Amino acid sequence: MRNFKKVVALVLAVALTMSTFTVAFAAESTTVTKLSDLGLLLNTTDAELGTELTREIGLTMILKSLGYTQADADAAVATSPFTDVKGWSAGWAALAFSKGITVGTSATTFAPAAKLTEKEFVAFQLRALGYDTTLAWDNAATLAVSAGLVPTGATLEATTYTKSNAAEVMYAALKATVQGVTPAVTLADQLIAKGLFTAAQAIAAGVKAEAPIAFAVESVTALNLNTVKVVFTQPVSENNAENTANYKIGTSSLGTADAAVLQADGKTVIVIMNTRLDQGKKEYFTVNAGILSKDGKATTSKVETELTFADVTIPTVASVTATGNKKVTVMFSEPVDISLSYAGLKIDGVAVTSLGASNITTNNLGSLGTTGDEATDAGYAQSLEITFGSALTAGSHTFTVPAGETGNFEDTAGFRTVETSTSFTIESVTGAPTITSVTGETNGIVYVQFNRDMESGTGINGAELTSNYKIGATNATTAAFDTGSKSKVKLTFASSTVAKGANVLTVDKDIKDAFGNSVHADDDQRVAFTAGDDAVKPLVDSVSLSSNVAGGAKITVKFSETVNGAYGTNFANYKLKDVDGNTIASSTSGIASILNSTNGVGNDDTFIITLTTGVSPLAKPSYTLEVKNIVDVAATPNKIDTVTKTITVADTVAPTVTAYETTTANKVRVKFNEAMSATMLEKANYFYVEGDGTIVALPSSVALSQIDNKTIELTFPGSLTVTPGSVADLIVAGLRIVGVRDVAGNLIAGGAADIAITTAAAATKPTIDGSTVKVQADSSKVWVTFDTSEILSVVDVAEITFGGQTPDTRLISGKTVTLNFTNTGKMDAIKLLGNTATLATVVAVANTMTAEGIPMASYFAGAALAVEENAVAPAVVSVASPSTTTVAITFSAPIDGTITGLYTNDFTVESNGALKTVSSASVASNVLTLTLSTPLTAEAIIKAIESNISIQSPATDGAETATLYVPSSTDKAGRTVAANAGVTLAATVETTPGVAATLGTAGVETITVTTKSTTDEFKTVQFTDGTITVDVLVDFEDDTAGTTDDTAADIRTAIAANAAITAVYTVGGAASAITFTQIANTGDVSIAIDDANLTTAIIGVAANTTPGVAATAGNAEVATATVTAAPTATGNIVVRLTDGTITQDVTVAVLVTDTTATTAAKIQAALTANATINAAYNVTNAGGSADVVITQRVPFSNVTITVTRQ
């Protein structure tokens, strides 16, 4: 079909040889002429234009150009302050003074006859534009350049000034903005408003921009019996223009059997219908609303045009052109039926088959319903293309098309071509074609521009063969000529192939141009190009109902570019609603599948939504499809703006009806399932049915009133009793409805409907549209909105909950209900649930109802509705330091744990004036834990970096939307967190360290918790035994109010749940002890638990006197800490000494080469250097020993001394 587009090239060569003087004079003359045409400049002879101006003449020129008259000047004479102005100019000088355009040369003089300088005239003109009188003189040059009166760099130093010079400034002033006027206008606009000239004259003179032409349908014309030409005012989207679903003939939408082809001008579309109309037939042709302009910024309104279809013209050959020397294209004046036959086609009188014709194709536009002849009939087409196996000779030729016959060269009216010979030329082109440019973007799209038309097709020499193009070792995935071109090739690569910045494209040397010349005789061509990011958002070009069958209606969505298949096939990105606003299909129901144009799930620009049988076929007259969250395939993906498109459906489905008695006795509501015609209001179409089956026409005493376009209400008089379910005579129990039609003209099902009247309670209950449940929040409240199928008059907040919380208030607006939660506890609970919060009701809804008393359906327990869209942004609640190398940030709501790699730079951690390096990030529900590469030794400030924020809520709601965390001013200023004190753990060794356990006896270690946890959050604790090193996450529950036993139990539970540990150890213990027993005897072990995730283990703490028993008088308490593992990394470690009174941290610098003895010596030196420790204890280390011995300086009651790694 692309061959149907004609490209017309017009080359105009104009040679002008003019002197510098002539050009300058012409410019002046043009300006003068334009001012003269506008009536703003008189006396424009050459002599007049060259005359030097005086002050009185220059000033008067400006005043007259502003529309002032001699009468205005005469009226001002009496107010003149100038004593030196007499005669004709006295009034003009006085008028200029009153308008602030001149202040004279003194308080009483004007110097009318003095020569006018350039600065004086420009100052007059600036004041006429509203500039301050003083500034217009003092800053004349600067203001004049800014206003566009003179070119940049002008100094206004000319002391002689001609009328021609002044004309240039006057003309420029018309385009300048008048000061002090709101809204802003130009001087030309003001003069148009005064009536000095028209807007059209101003546009012609170039002082007013021509109003932009709105994008619209300009014309619709019938060309013959089945062809319509549609012209738009601006270039139109190709995908939209060529989508036949955008056009209708009569009431029928065009379909895939029809064709629409955008022409080379980008604004004209030829629409060819698969059905011919009768000669002289009048019919409405519709161009649907919503067709996009090429730039995607505007859409058309619906246009219906009554056309007369007629064809009394014989089809002719419009043109014959050669592409290269192996292809000839014949264009006809209108579509004709073309047989796939070479018969009668000749060049220079010789049959094309004798000249090597190898292929014949057309732009098939349909076969007018004929099927079965595809092998011999190309169908109706406007172009015929013949390809030759060998080159035709260069020069002038004639192409002969034979006289038409039935089925060949015959138009839709039956008129046939006459034998015609048309001249055409084949150029002689030699030499290799060149690549003039290569451009590309990181989305993988690359364009190659050759200097001439290239060989089409995917043969070895074809410009459309993907393997002829490479970036690195990667072939293009697609290659095709760009629309309307045979010299520009559009390539597609995987987006990861095209890097931002420098790239090199290799073009195969064997590609040939249309004349058979190769790109290069010997070498492939390597072309460097720079790729930028694709920053253009994808658009929805068209949405059409491609199939509307009971087995599954299909909706085709066409995008403006290739989009990511994972998003294009995501149910959550589409929502279909009927004309009444009810959701028909969404992520929760109604969609059976979404596939791309090749029935896959990969990247594509076209996706087909197949609806379930439950909602197919679509029966309402129109629907809307919302499309959102789709992203393209750019390296940095661009997301589509949410858009809603209308789908028009031919309504052929009969309406249905129900009836119920309202809560007011004898009032019956009759509800149809769709919008109805005026027949709904005709009382003669209704009968009532008595309980015994008797059918009675409605008496005149029954009032009929319209509720909406689908509902009426019948009010029966007191003489008739309405009783649903009654079987008695004379009691109204049902209705018969006949002759009622919907707006599309469909008669009620069966032509008549007998329906029982039900009670309001038994009527169809209004429901909640689950696809509309949305939760939002601000600082003062959380609110949940949803739509119901019917308007509710009462919403009882005691009957409905969200996230288990009862609303504080509610609001009803039409079918939309808003539940408000203002209680802080409720708000926090809902936020913390995130996407797991559900909308639920009590078991039996009784008070939430419509005005007619129909209660809403129940959504209890398993029927509760999930959140479709969660727009609640996470907010920081608190920060803490679970350990010296971790910072935990707690949010108000769960955060996305799938992209933690992006979170390491969302916050900075600053301590002691330096920024800490965040090595990794992890998420547990609503807690973000940042792991630091070095420990905190002092308080830290945690700041959110707004420009780096990636933290978002999980995209696990129905719409799969994620809401970005927006830092508060407090978050950005920084929150302070104290250095972590940790959980103090004392290790005791049950067997002698370094000595093998008795054969057959497993090694046992016990860790004793000596201080309780001071947090109720999650903390990371590290278990190590020299071989196993495992981090476990401990939930300390409410240990801030607990005991050491509680803390030990929490740690014991977390460690016992770890498979790596329990494969080697049995974990037990009671109270504050955590005992590890080897499952198999593997010799003595040393076990440490490290809540700071450092590397050097200091365990084996033992008291030389019995713990808890007072020391003997004169004997100091002694404890020994044994270093049982050497450092595994170079850096600082923090060692803590605590005895129940003293708690002191010391920093020890260790090397990976340190032995246990060296480490012990360094620890001893650091402890001794601490004044607080040194005042109470003597710390020693025997040379070469791994023991650090800590002795009380003065004996006092027994203490437990613990040295731990922090």
Query: CB-based contacts of 212: which residues, under 8 Å, 6+ apart?
Result: none
Give the pLDDT mean for 565-578: 91
Q: Give percent of the chain with pLDDT exceeding 90.
A: 42
Decide: residue 193, CB within 10 A, 0-12 exposed, 13-18 middle, 19+ buried.
exposed
Identify the band that residue 622 occupies on the pLDDT scale cut at 50, 70 and 90: confident
pLDDT tens digits along 389-428:
889 999 999 999 999 998 889 888 889 999 999 999 999 9
Q: Which two tokens stand for residue 103?
A: 């202040």
pLDDT tens digits along 148-192:
999 888 889 887 899 999 999 999 999 999 998 878 889 999 999
Distance CA 171, CA 156 (A): 17
Q: 512 has which bridge partners?
A: 518
Give the pLDDT mean for 437-444: 90
Q: 642 near 628, Cβ under 8 Å?
A: yes
- Tell me which of 82-96, 813-827, 1062-1076 is least confident: 1062-1076
Q: What pLDDT does 192 receive?
A: 92
pLDDT tens digits along 106-138:
999 999 999 999 999 999 999 999 999 899 999
Q: What pLDDT does 800 receive?
A: 95
pLDDT tens digits along 245-279:
889 998 788 887 788 888 878 899 999 888 888 89
Q: 834 near 870, Cβ under 8 Å?
A: yes
- In this structure, are strands 583-585 and 574-578 parallel, antiparallel, or unpaired? antiparallel
Q: Which residue has the higher pLDDT, 306 or 1190?
A: 306
Q: What pLDDT does 118 receive?
A: 92
Q: Which residue has the higher pLDDT, 862 or 822?
A: 822
User: Among 668, 660, 669, 686, which Cα is nearest to 748's?
Assistant: 686
Cα torsion 145, 150, 154, 158: sign: negative
Identify the band that residue 1061 occupies on the pLDDT scale cut at 50, 70 and 90: confident
Q: How many CB atoms lie within 10 A of CB 94?
A: 23
Q: 944 has which bridge partners?
A: 907
Strand order in the sheet with 809-813: 809-813, 816-821, 782-788, 768-777, 869-870
- Tell me which of 144-158, 197-211, 1135-1149 is least confident: 1135-1149
Query: CB-based contacts of 183: which residues, under 8 Å, 6+ apart?
Result: none
Q: 195 has which bridge partners?
A: none
- Tell me which of 9-13, 281-285, 817-821 is least confident: 9-13
Q: Which two tokens stand for residue 688?
A: 């009532």
Q: 32 near 41, Cβ under 8 Å?
A: yes
SS (H, E, C) 772-788: EEEEEECCCCEEEEEEE
Average pLDDT, the chain: 83
Q: How many CB atoms lie within 10 A of CB 156?
A: 18
Distance CA 458, CA 302 (A): 42
Classify residue 571 by its DSSP letter: G
Q: Which residue has the higher pLDDT, 740 or 1142?
A: 740
Class of domain 657-759: mainly beta
> In this model, does residue 989 exceed pLDDT 60?
no
Axis crossing angle, helix 55-65 with helix 163-174, rounded to the nearest 10: 30
Most confident region among 354-363, 438-447, 954-963, 1016-1025 by mean pLDDT: 438-447
> In this model, does residue 29 exceed pLDDT 70?
no
SS (H, E, C) 1029-1051: EEEEEEECCCHHHCCHHHHHHHH
> In this model, does residue 11 exceed pLDDT 90?
no
Distance CA 1031, CA 1024 (A): 9
Identify the band that residue 590 occupies on the pLDDT scale cut at 50, 70 and 90: very high
Q: What pLDDT does 1017 receive?
A: 66
Q: How many CB atoms lie within 10 A of CB 250?
A: 10
- pTM as predicted: 0.44
CB-hemisphere CA count at 13 Å for 1091?
Answer: 23
Identify the band that residue 1139 occupies on the pLDDT scale cut at 50, 70 and 90: low
User: Among 766, 602, 738, which Cα is nearest to 679's?
Assistant: 738
Identify the band that residue 979 occupies on the pLDDT scale cut at 50, 70 and 90: low
CB-hemisphere CA count at 13 Å for 23?
Answer: 5
Query: CB-based contacts of 700: which residues, under 8 Å, 6+ apart?
Result: none
Strands (E) located in 797-862? 800-802, 809-813, 816-821, 838-841, 849-850
Q: What pLDDT does 572 receive?
A: 87
Q: Does domain 876-977 have CATH number 1.20.120.80?
A: no
Q: 1159 near 1173, Cβ under 8 Å?
A: no
Identify the band that residue 1018 occupies on the pLDDT scale cut at 50, 70 and 90: low
Helix (H, G, I), strand (E, B), or coil: what is residue 964?
strand
Cα 1102 from chain centroid? 65
pLDDT tens digits along 708-739:
888 999 999 999 999 999 999 899 999 999 99
Fold of 435-532: Immunoglobulin-like (2.60.40)
State the virtual CA torsion across 188, 192, 196, 200 in degrees, nearest 10: 90
Give the pLDDT mean for 576-603: 89
Q: Which residue has the higher pLDDT, 844 or 347?
A: 347
- In this structure, are strands 657-661 and 752-759 parallel, antiparallel, or unpaired? parallel
Give the pLDDT mean for 768-782: 91
Q: 839 near 786, Cβ under 8 Å?
A: yes
State the virtual CA torsion across 167, 169, 175, 179 in degrees, nearest 10: -130
Q: How many CB atoms lie within 10 A of CB 1184?
A: 10
Q: How far is CA 14 from CA 11, 20, 874, 1042, in A?
A: 10, 18, 67, 95
So what's the architecture of 540-648 in CATH? Sandwich (2.60)
Q: How far is CA 647 from CA 251, 400, 624, 916, in A?
A: 14, 47, 6, 57
Fold of 317-426: Immunoglobulin-like (2.60.40)
Determine the straight-line distance between the first and last CA of the chain, rounded to whole angstroms. 75
Q: 1118 has which bridge partners?
A: 1191
SS (H, E, C) 320-354: EEEECCCEEEEEEEEEEEEECCCCCCEECCEEHHH
- Tell me which of 158-167, 259-268, 982-991, 1001-1010 is least confident: 982-991
> In this model, does residue 1183 exceed pLDDT 80?
no
Decide: residue 976, CB within 10 A, 0-12 exposed, 13-18 middle, 19+ buried.
exposed
Q: Does domain 217-309 have CATH number 2.60.40.1220?
A: yes
Q: Which residue has the higher pLDDT, 173 or 1029?
A: 173
Q: What pLDDT does 1126 receive?
A: 73
Q: How far is CA 314 from CA 307, 318, 407, in A?
A: 21, 12, 15
Q: How many residues does the chain have?
A: 1206
Give the pLDDT mean for 8-21: 27
pLDDT tens digits along 1062-1077:
877 778 888 877 877 7
> In this model, does residue 988 exceed pLDDT 80?
no
Q: Which two tokens stand for residue 163?
A: 């009328």
Axis crossing angle, helix 55-65 with helix 90-98, rounded to the nearest 10: 60
Cα 822 from chain centroid? 32
- Name the helix (H) or strand (E) containing 47: helix 46-49
Q: What pLDDT does 90 receive?
A: 92
Identify the band that residue 1196 occupies on the pLDDT scale cut at 50, 70 and 90: very low
Output the DSSP codes for 502-540: EEEEEE-TT-BBTTS-BS-SS--EEEEEEEE---PPP-E
Helix (H, G, I), strand (E, B), or coil: what is residue 1156?
helix
Identify the band that residue 1026 occupies on the pLDDT scale cut at 50, 70 and 90: low
SS (H, E, C) 590-633: EEEEEEECCCCCCCEEEEEEEECHHHCCCCCCEEEEEECCCEEC
Helices (H), 1035-1180: 1044-1056, 1059-1062, 1156-1168, 1171-1176
User: Among 639, 566, 647, 557, which Cα is nearest to 605's?
Assistant: 557
pLDDT tens digits along 623-637:
999 999 899 888 778
Q: 489 near 440, Cβ under 8 Å?
A: no
Q: What pLDDT does 1039 receive?
A: 66
Distance CA 29, CA 35 (A): 10
> In this model, does residue 1035 exceed pLDDT 50?
yes
Q: What are phi and psi of 1086, to 5 degrees?
A: -120, 125
pLDDT tens digits along 547-558:
787 888 899 898
Residue 159, amino acid:
T
> In this model, does residue 4 exceed pLDDT 50?
no
Q: How many CB atoms lie within 10 A of CB 195?
A: 8
Distance CA 768, CA 819 (A): 13
